[in-house]
Amino acid sequence: MLYRVIDRADLPSLVAAFMERYEVVAPVRRGSFYAFEAIGDFSEIALDYPTTIASPKKYFLPATETLFEFDARENAVTDYVDEVRPRVLFGVHACDINGIMNLNSVFNDPRYPDPYYRAHQDATLIVGVSCTPGDTCFCHLMDSEEARPGYDLFLNAIGEAFLVSIGSVTAANILEGACDVREATDADRAAFRAATRARQEAFNGAIPDVQEIPMLMDAFHEDGFWDELGGRCLSCNACASVCPTCYCFDIRDTLDPGAETGRRERVWDACTSPQFAMVAGGHNFRSTAAERVRHRMYHKLNGFLATHDRSLCVGCGRCAAACKVGISPIEVLKFFERKGADDGE
């Protein structure tokens, strides 16, 4: 990995350089919350944002995306070009970069590669930024506190400067052209280590570090805990809407007024939705909220791991903030900790 150092004062010119060729998307303040949005000027960016309501997933997998258009009279597909905008996601935290890596491994699976996702991925540069964990952050427990691959640049704050990890030639060239770039010194590296340590210590200690989560998920599959969670689930899908790694979708056709032409669209779907596991003939494989919530947690903490060798949940904590009734992987970790304590007695 190549490292360079830039001053904080260099950031506006870096962003301006990106803007010449890309749409720049960054965290901006919305009332008391934050969201990723396309920006027009560096001053709109809230780079020290705690987290955003929803994740940057929407730039890879839009909530609604047209897959093609058709002529209903001819029953034929018509020419259609998906809008893919060259884009820089500026100021992405490590958890979200890991989340995007998880999405990449799903949508780039060689058995069924997804050209729409891939087009967005190929057109997007990612500039990460270091963060200070908030109350609901637990990326460190999900092996996602650090972005190893997955970014073009990563800005590690060290005081009034940034130690920049460089991940791509394209981004390196833009960085070199826009900023007064210098080599990292021993002092910079020491500052980086100190910042990393301070960040590690800032994680919320009340979220338990549980070992062998997949094994525990299997062991407590039939526990009444899931009925408790299901009993209060509102079946709203807010968890999946905000999650950086939920990738389920539905596909449907929409006719234009007059019904002569139409579009085939994919729209986000979620396993917490009551109809998610309903099949032809009407049988619903997960007809209760308890089964649905359990399924969600299984996929997040166990199922994905079996195929992709890492947990799907990256510990961003967004669902914990979005869920009105306190259902999140954090509750599952706490449940396992309680069970462990009970067994120890």
CB-nearer residue toward ligand SF4: 107 or 151: 107
CB-nearer residue toward another protein: 104 or 261: 261
Pick what 32 binds: another protein, ligand SF4, none; C-beta below 5 to 8 Å, kind-dependent.
another protein
Task: Determine how β-strand 87-92 pairs with β-strand 23-30.
Answer: parallel
- Contact with ligand SF4 (CB under 6 A) among 39, 94, 163, 238: 238
Q: Which residues bind another protein (CB under 8 A)?
A: 30-33, 35, 52-54, 63, 72, 231-242, 250-255, 257-260, 268, 270, 272-275, 278, 289, 322, 324-325
- Contact with ligand SF4 (CB under 6 A) among 103, 262, 296, 335: 296
* Shortest CB 285 distance to ligand SF4, Å: 12
- d(Cα 289, Cα 308) in Å, to the nearest integer? 27
- d(Cα 178, Cα 21) in Å, to the nearest integer? 13
CB-nearer residue toward another protein: 274 or 303: 274
- Phi, psi (5° rounding) for residue 29? -80, 135
Q: What angle do CA 33, 99, 150 make, to 5 degrees?
A: 115
Q: Which two tokens mark 95?
A: 């958890």
Q: Which of 124, 76, 132 lies closest to 101 in space, CA to CA?
A: 124
* Shortest CB 253 distance to another protein, Å: 6
Looking at residues 305 to 334 of the shown chain, list those that interact with ligand SF4 (rule: CB under 6 A). Answer: 313-319, 322-325, 327-329
* Shortest CB 288 distance to another protein, Å: 10
69-80 residues labelled b (16+ CB within 10 A) or e (exposed): ebeeeeeeeeee
Task: Give the start-end residues of each E strand in the chain.
Answer: 2-7, 23-30, 33-38, 64-71, 76-78, 87-92, 124-129, 153-158, 161-166, 249-255, 261-268
CB-nearer residue toward ligand SF4: 23 or 291: 291
* Shortest CB 134 distance to another protein, Å: 15
With 0-12 / 13-18 / 19 or more C-beta atoms within 10 angstroms meaning exposed / middle / buried, residue 149 is exposed
* Residue 131 contacts ligand SF4 per CB under 6 A: no
- Contact with ligand SF4 (CB under 6 A) among 171, 246, 332, 333: 246
Are the CB atoms for 260 and 71 separated by under 8 Å? yes
- Phi, psi (5° rounding) for residue 255? -85, 145
Strand arrangement, sheet containing 87-92: 2-7, 161-166, 153-158, 124-129, 87-92, 23-30, 33-38
* Shortest CB 335 distance to another protein, Å: 18
Pick what 161 binds: another protein, ligand SF4, none; C-beta below 5 to 8 Å, kind-dependent.
none
Residues in binding contact with ligand SF4, number by CB under 6 A = 36
* Residue 94 contacts ligand SF4 per CB under 6 A: no
Pick what 63 binds: ligand SF4, another protein, none; C-beta below 5 to 8 Å, kind-dependent.
another protein
Site residues (vs ligand SF4, CB under 6 A): 233-240, 242-248, 270-272, 293, 296, 299-300, 313-319, 322-325, 327-329
